[in-house]
Amino acid sequence: MNFDDTPQEAAFRAEAKAWIAANAPKQYEDELRKSSLGRTALRDANILEVAKVWQKKKADAGWACLHWPKEYGGRGSSPIERVIWQQEEGPFGKLSGIFIIGHGMCGPTMMAFAGEAEKKKYLPPLASGEKVWCQLFSEPAGGSDVAGLRTRAEKKGDDWIINGQKIWTSGAHYSDYGILLTRTDPNVAKHKGLTMFFLDMKSPGVDIRPIKQASGQSDFNEVYFTDVKIPDSQRLGAVNDGWNVSLTTLMNERMSIGAGVSTGFPELFDFCNSLMLDDGPAIEDRNVRSRLANYAVKASGLKYTSMRAISALSKGDRPGPENSIGKLVAGSMVQEVAMYALDLQGAAGALSGPEDAEIAGKFQAMLLRAPGTRVEGGTDEIMRNIIAERVLGLPGDIRVDKDVPFNKIPTNGRA
Amino acid sequence: MNFDFSDEQKQMRDAARKFLTEKCPPKAVREVLDGKATYDKALWTGLAEMGFLGVAIPEEFGGAGAGHLELCVIAEEMGRALAPVPFASTVYLAAEALLLAGSDAQKQKWLPKIASGEAIGTLALFEGKGNPSPQAIKLSASGGTLNGVKKPVPDGAIADFAIVAARTGSTGRDADISLFLVDLKAGGVEVRSLTNIDPTHGQAELTFKNCKAEPLGAAGDGWSILTQVLDRAAVLVAFEQVGGSDRALEMGRDYALDRIAFGRPIGSFQAVKHILADMYVSATLARSNCYYGAWALSTNASELPEAAAAARISATQAFQHCSKNNIQVHGGMGFTWEFDCHMYYRRANATAVTLGSLSYWEDQLIDRMRKKNAA
């Protein structure tokens, strides 16, 4: 048992470290290091532009999408090299946020299902960040029940005509392309009538409307489709086999490990180390210490769970299912941490303006963003179902809509 | 990076599981639970024959000289099987104290006997309620004799020798505490068995009356040695707790698959699934914290104090969480004497306090993290 690199890994790490030291946008390092959930903007620059420049620079030097094949813009690296890169990239990795969906989900789906000409055309600019991709799955009638989606695709000549609405599409407003899951046959059971496509987000008939979130920010969108035309050459997988294609996408999401999830603990520990309460330093208060210790062991438990998964990668094994706990644990923890940090501030905890709030309102921003983390990418409840069914082997829930044609399933009243 | 046990260590875990499945089924645990024996003597002898008692004791002192990672995997299996033997008190506490602070003669005398199963040892630290602290130690030592009362002492009624924490000064400093080694069969100690929530591990009160004792380690070093012993034992007990957590989770899972109510397995209800998923989460976090503790223990890393506290807290929480919710998943049957659920619940809640309570270790963890932060 050790934390040491193999000689090969050490050589890779040294090379990555040296390149990052020579090329990373250092002027933003401090700001990126201090950024936390709900607070990742840069003060004097557009983070989207900074991120694109950094990604392009990485791509030109062969450091983008490390685990992708070279011909599609990657480096052909092993999974462990990708993790080492992420460790060395450190705070600059936060600039990859806008590419996560494209690189982690759309790219692998394209690689598995697109034609060779499409792969050669679309993947390299996706890897280099010149083109940003989004994923259009969730709908008002299909969130956790994503196979309940209603956006229609109808064949007309060599094209497909799309009508419907997507929601919670991260980054649609700055995306160039998207992968889109549609219903092509409403007369069969819901999982059996879906088809996947990719499309140009600038296509006529695509209407993108930002959602003002409960946090007041707008990271997500509603996307409306009115007679949008997609050529059949942009279909991914067979007609009506979209559910299986989407499972590939989602499986790749689970493989994106090592990036780390935000727990809020390092921020809280720092805060408590400097905070003075009425009767002395917060860190010497018995209640504070007890709460901190409880958060500390969750944060370290997640950290070392991730180390175990990385070790499996290092040996060439696939990471086990234990990695599925990360989002579930971190999501509710970051929310509790934020609430506790406000509690420690007393009445002033309600203040969120950067000038008046403690540490510029970091915990207030975290608090307001936190409810989303427990919903996006699978709700806490869906994550528990996944653990119970796929890890512990418990039976699936009884599904009353399983063998019913999609258009006969009861709804909230819409056709 | 290889943050995992080696294939050889995993083979040792498999061997320990196979051995304990055969020699320590729930029926054997119940012999001690029901008071028909003070501990499982046949199992104790078997563990010695397997080389498990001396796995971390160097060969020169009669052990296998394997190491602490090997001891961790065995500890996990001992916890999983609820082995009703004085393993923790003898191997994690007494043997570790001897290895850390014993003279060559003391090691030569006792360690081979531990490895061979001939001697049971323990640590006599507590004096009534409260957590480990130098101020709480009142038992006095002067001129090589001890006077005072220790309770609870784990396995005190069956132990052959004890490491005893005693007061040798009154300056109010840690240096007031020294350790002594007492042969409990040599007279001068009254032993009284104490009823406790987990009868599969005995507890006792030891009354020392002008009891002859030999020093263990230098005078005044007692507290510093104790702190190290407790950290090492915390990691090892945490592995027992993780083994128990996993078994409680499996029992709950198996019952949820088997039990039919409302016309379907209860494991298909989300209310039950989510209980089990949360058990899996706590057991996984604890396991990962324990692996870090194992690494720190086996390498004598400077991170050991922090790693041990984190492993201890996380594993205590997991075992309490899994054992209580295993009963919940079982419903009424889980609350019968006949079902084994309560044996895990008893063990979880006893081990949660035996090395000092959760709040004590929480306090320790934050102290240690602050020290690291300041450094």
pLDDT tens digits for range A44-77: 889 999 999 999 999 999 999 998 999 999 999 9
Chain B positions touching A393 (Cβ under 8 A) are 253, 257
State whether B38 and B171 are in the same domain: no
* Phi-psi category of residue A49: left, alpha or beta, with phi > 0 → left and psi -120 to 50 → alpha: alpha
pLDDT band (50, 70, 90) for residue B270: very high
The strand pair at B203-212 and B145-154 is best described as antiparallel
| Residue B253 contacts residue B272 (beta carbons within 8 Å) | no
Per cent of chain A over pLDDT 90 is 71
Decide if pLDDT at A255 tops 60.
Answer: no
Domain at A7-127, CATH from 3.90.79.10, 3.20.20.80, 1.10.540.10, 3.90.25.10 = 1.10.540.10
State whether B185 and B283 are in the same domain: no
User: How many CB atoms lie under 10 A from the CB of residue A131?
Assistant: 18
State whether B200 and B252 are in the same domain: no
Chain A positions touching B66 (Cβ under 8 A) are none
Q: Examine residue B50 and state whether it is found in any structural domain, yes or no.
A: yes
pLDDT in tens, A194-224: 999 999 999 999 999 999 999 888 889 999 9
Q: Examine residue B97 and state whether it is found in any structural domain, yes or no.
A: no
Res A309: pLDDT: 85
Taking the alpha carbons at both ends of chain B, their separation in whole angstroms is 26
Res A79: pLDDT: 81
pLDDT in tens, A328-375: 999 999 999 999 999 999 999 999 998 898 888 999 999 999 999 899
User: How many CB atoms lie under 10 A from the CB of residue A305?
Assistant: 27
Res A413: pLDDT: 62
State whether B241 and B210 are in the same domain: no
Res A359: pLDDT: 87
The token pair that represents B178 in the structure block:
């020294």
Chain A positions touching B310 (Cβ under 8 A) are 296-297, 300
CB contact under 8 A, A5 and B1: yes
| Cα(A371)–Cα(A331) distance, integer angstroms | 8
Q: Å from B370 to nearest chain A CA?
A: 8
Give me the mean pLDDT over the A254-273 stretch. Answer: 79
Q: Å from B96 to nearest chain A CA?
A: 21
Task: Return the closest-CA partner of residue A37 out of A319, A376, A273, A381.
Answer: A376
Res A415: pLDDT: 46
Q: Which range of residues forms the domain containing residue B345?
A: 223-374
CATH superfamily label, A133-246: Butyryl-CoA Dehydrogenase, subunit A, domain 2 (2.40.110.10)
Residues 6+ apart with CB under 8 A from B109: none
pLDDT in tens, B273-328: 999 999 999 999 999 999 999 999 999 999 999 999 999 999 999 999 999 999 99
State whether B128 and B113 are in the same domain: no
Res A258: pLDDT: 43
Q: Examine residue B94 and state whether it is found in any structural domain, yes or no.
A: no
Q: Examine residue B1 and state whether it is found in any structural domain, yes or no.
A: no
Taking the alpha carbons at both ends of chain A, their separation in whole angstroms is 59
Give me the mean pLDDT over the B179-201 stretch. Answer: 97
pLDDT in tens, B32-55: 999 999 999 999 999 999 999 999
CB contact under 8 A, A325 and B285: yes
Q: Å from B135 to nearest chain A CA?
A: 19
pLDDT in tens, B100-125: 999 999 999 999 999 999 999 999 99
Q: Examine residue B73 and state whether it is found in any structural domain, yes or no.
A: yes
Domain boundaries, chain A: 7-127, 133-246, 254-378
From A41-45, A153-157, B95-99, B340-344, the region with the lowest mean pLDDT:
A41-45
CB contact under 8 A, A301 and B285: yes
| Cα(A41)–Cα(A32) distance, integer angstroms | 9
- CA-nearest residue to B289 within chain A is A301
Res A77: pLDDT: 92
pLDDT in tens, B4-33: 999 999 999 999 999 999 999 999 999 999
The number of C-beta contacts closer than 8 angstroms across A and B is 160
Q: Examine residue B95 and state whether it is found in any structural domain, yes or no.
A: no
| Residue A393 contacts residue B258 (beta carbons within 8 Å) | no
Residue with tokens 């201890």: B312
pLDDT in tens, A121-135: 999 999 999 999 999
The DSSP secondary-structure symbol of A397 reads P
| Cα(B65)–Cα(B75) distance, integer angstroms | 16
Res A257: pLDDT: 47
CB contact under 8 A, A293 and B366: yes
Chain B positions touching A384 (Cβ under 8 A) are 270, 273-274, 277-278
More confident position, B23 or A32:
B23
The DSSP secondary-structure symbol of B234 reads H
Q: Which of B199, B220, B241 is the last residue of a domain?
A: B220
More confident position, A107 or A322:
A107
Residues 6+ apart with CB under 8 A from B120: B86, B89, B90, B155, B158, B159, B160, B161
Decide if pLDDT at A324 tops 80.
Answer: no
Give me the mean pLDDT over the A294-306 stretch. Answer: 95
pLDDT in tens, A274-289: 999 999 999 999 999 9
Give me the mean pLDDT over the A377-392 stretch. Answer: 91
State whether B281 and B168 are in the same domain: no
- CA-nearest residue to B297 within chain A is A1
| Residue A340 contacts residue A291 (beta carbons within 8 Å) | yes
pLDDT band (50, 70, 90) for residue B244: very high
Q: For domain A254-378, give the CATH number.
A: 1.20.140.10
CB contact under 8 A, B1 and A314: yes
Question: What are the backbone dihedrals phi and psi of residue A213, each rounded to the nearest 5 degrees, phi first?
Answer: -75, 165
Cis peptide before B152 (omega within 30 of 0): yes
Q: Which of B166, B199, B220 is the last residue of a domain?
A: B220
| Cα(A312)–Cα(A99) distance, integer angstroms | 26
Residue with tokens 């201090």: A34
Q: What is the mean pLDDT of chain A?
A: 91
Chain B positions touching A289 (Cβ under 8 A) are 362-363, 366
- CATH, residue B286: 1.20.140.10
In terms of Cβ atoms closer than 10 Å to its own Cβ (0-12, 13-18, 19+), residue A398 is exposed
Chain B positions touching A396 (Cβ under 8 A) are 268
Decide if pLDDT at A259 tops 80.
Answer: no
Chain A positions touching B261 (Cβ under 8 A) are none
State whether B238 and B320 are in the same domain: yes
Q: Å from A85 to nearest chain B CA?
A: 14
The closest CB to that of A394, out of B273, B313, B365, belongs to B273
- CATH, residue B107: 1.10.540.10
How many Cα atoms occupy the beta-carbon half-sphere of A354 within 13 Å?
2
Chain A positions touching B313 (Cβ under 8 A) are 293-294, 297
| Residue A134 contacts residue A180 (beta carbons within 8 Å) | no
Give me the mean pLDDT over the B230-246 stretch. Answer: 98
Q: Å from B275 to nearest chain A CA?
A: 9
pLDDT band (50, 70, 90) for residue A323: low
Give me the mean pLDDT over the A96-111 stretch. Answer: 92
- CA-nearest residue to B257 within chain A is A394
Res A141: pLDDT: 84
From A247-261, B168-182, B266-280, B291-305, the region with the lowest mean pLDDT:
A247-261
CB contact under 8 A, B2 and A298: no
Question: What are the backbone dihedrals phi and psi of residue B108, each rounded to the nearest 5 degrees, phi first?
Answer: -60, -35
- CATH, residue B131: 2.40.110.10
State whether B232 and B206 are in the same domain: no
- The count of structural domains within chain B is 3
CB contact under 8 A, B294 and A328: no
Q: Examine residue B208 and state whether it is found in any structural domain, yes or no.
A: yes
pLDDT band (50, 70, 90) for residue A315: confident
State whether B210 and B171 are in the same domain: yes
| Residue A111 contacts residue A103 (beta carbons within 8 Å) | no
CB contact under 8 A, B278 and A384: yes
- CA-nearest residue to B315 within chain A is A297
Q: Give whichever of A304-308, A385-389, B335-339 has the largest mean pLDDT.
A: B335-339
The DSSP secondary-structure symbol of A357 reads S
Res B33: pLDDT: 97
pLDDT band (50, 70, 90) for residue A40: confident
Q: Which of B197, B220, B243 is the last residue of a domain?
A: B220
Decide if pLDDT at A303 tops 60.
Answer: yes
| Residue A196 contacts residue A189 (beta carbons within 8 Å) | no
Give me the mean pLDDT over the A6-26 stretch. Answer: 96
Give me the mean pLDDT over the B192-221 stretch. Answer: 97
| Cα(A155)–Cα(A158) distance, integer angstroms | 7
In B58-215, which residue ranges form alpha helices assigned H by DSSP? Answer: 68-81, 87, 96-101, 104-116
Give me the mean pLDDT over the B175-190 stretch. Answer: 97
Q: Examine residue B264 and state whether it is found in any structural domain, yes or no.
A: yes
Give me the mean pLDDT over the A92-100 stretch. Answer: 91
Chain A positions touching B284 (Cβ under 8 A) are 301, 305, 322, 325
